Copies of this chain bind each other. A is one copy, B any other.
Amino acid sequence: MNQQQHAPVPPDTGGPVHDPVRAERLAARLRAALGPGKVLSDPAQLRTYECDGLAVYRVRPAVAVLAGERDDVVRTVRICAEEGVPFVARGSGTGLSGGAVPVADGVLIVLSRLRRILDVDPDNARVRVEPGVINLWVTRDAAPHGQAYAPDPSSQQVCSIGGNVAENAGGAHCLKYGFTVNHVTGAEVVLPDGDVVHLGGTAPEHPGLDLLGAFVGSEGTLGVTTEVTVRTIQAPETVRTMLVGFHTVEDAAGTVSDIIAAGILPAAIEMMDALAVEAAEAAVQCGYPEGARAVLVVELDGPRVEVDALFTQVEEIAGRRHAFEIRIAADDAERALMWRGRKSAFAAVGRISPAYYVQDGVIPRTRLPDVLTEMGRLADEAGVRVANVFHAGDGNLHPLILFDDKQPGAAEAAEELGMAILDLCVDAGGSITGEHGVGLEKKGKMTRQFSADDLDTMQLVRCAFDPAGLANPGKQFPTPRLCGERPGVRTAADTHDPALGEVF
């Protein structure tokens, strides 16, 4: 995690609610069940697990379990169910919405040791892995067969497949290839009562209710995955990348719309505005067009003949939108440099601002020009600088809100702007998250996006999986629902709000 990234302080803060006696009793029971070397309860050791990529929320769990096999997860969840203790699963902890933040007197189930690649089946284009397997390893093992795993979050060198499943992770190439949910065909899941079920499988479609789709992106609230089957795609014959400089953000946004309207589906269309380009240039000397108010990175892949023909069309479209510089990567080194600018942008922004806050929202592609203009107006009004680096092709914005964390009130102003940007996305017909998830950060915004009945229906399903509210409570939903029929009975979801944990 980039140390310079900070999100603002959450509204509800309070001291830790640890009960050391209860924690030790729980740890002892888990140690007896799992054996040595798997259960941590020393507060110093537990500090490692206090937060995820959204480093603002810090909560120390009572116990951390380093699961070494599937049955460790089953035993831990069973014990939690028996004791009424909440649990949170964690992969690599790179999430950006606080989805893997522990619960103060709960168990954190760490899945990183479950990192075996169980089966590579190129003939049926499937790879079966344990949840701690790193995203990039799937492509690494599929590559000798000419295949690849498509979803590519920026953190793909460190993030885990289990976490990708929990958050329905995206990435630059999801424009063409879809999100994690479009690539997972099966999952083994430990339900909150400890039962093990199989959702989906290897076939493209399954009879019965498609609970796999609901499970992917459920942010740990329905259970813990212990095995994932993903499909792999044929690695493209050719990949070509183009860097295009524009004098206005509107022309860049118009080019994105025109490319898609022409029926061209690039592997990726990434956009960066002047501030993001300036930061990237200062950090990694990527040679982006000088003086550009906006830059597009357009990547096409597929059979060579197709890519060549479409590239010519993209050049023509950009030209009609007054692009002042069009550069096509001549070789892999030039291509890598173009991506280096884009991929380093988040970190690079950390060099031009003491702190920043990454937002994640979605708008219909056609609304890009006016939403970007309105976002600029809101930022000016708030006196806050915003750098834009985002997946333009699918309208997935990532405004980087810059602030000085030493200045009183600056973090709050940044947060306020971030939330106003989400409102803007919803009003434009979009969504409050494209790929980072809701987690702790955005649960308060769910009511902007969904009606009370919509949220109620989701929580009814959540209650079906987890009537006691023990699986990652306090995430995703603004107000936890009481499961069951007896009014007045409070569930763990009500009493274990992680926002009551320790905040740095």
Contact = CB atoms under 8 A, between A and B. Distances in A.
B210 A181 contact: yes
Given A146-B263, A210-B216, A309-B303, A205 B465 contact: no
A413 B178 CA distance: 44
Interface bin, chain A:
35 or more
A310 B302 CA distance: 11
Interface string A357-370: 00000101110000
A195 B216 CA distance: 26
A123 B261 contact: yes
Given A197-B454, A464-B460, A123 B366 contact: yes
A257 interface: yes
A305 interface: yes
Contacts of A199: 454, 457
Interface in A204-224: 204-214, 216-218, 221-222
A426 to B, nearest CB: 10
A374 B405 CA distance: 70
A198 B456 CA distance: 11
Most central of A191, A203, A260 by chain B CB within 10 Å: A203
A432 B261 contact: no
A458 interface: yes
A195 B453 contact: yes
Interface string A435-447: 1011000100010
A398 to B, nearest CB: 14
A476 interface: yes
A153 interface: no
Given A207-B449, A213-B213, 8 more contacts: A181-B205, A195-B453, A198-B450, A208-B458, A211-B457, A234-B265, A464-B464, A485-B485
7 contacts: A179-B205, A203-B431, A205-B431, A207-B433, A208-B446, A208-B455, A209-B222
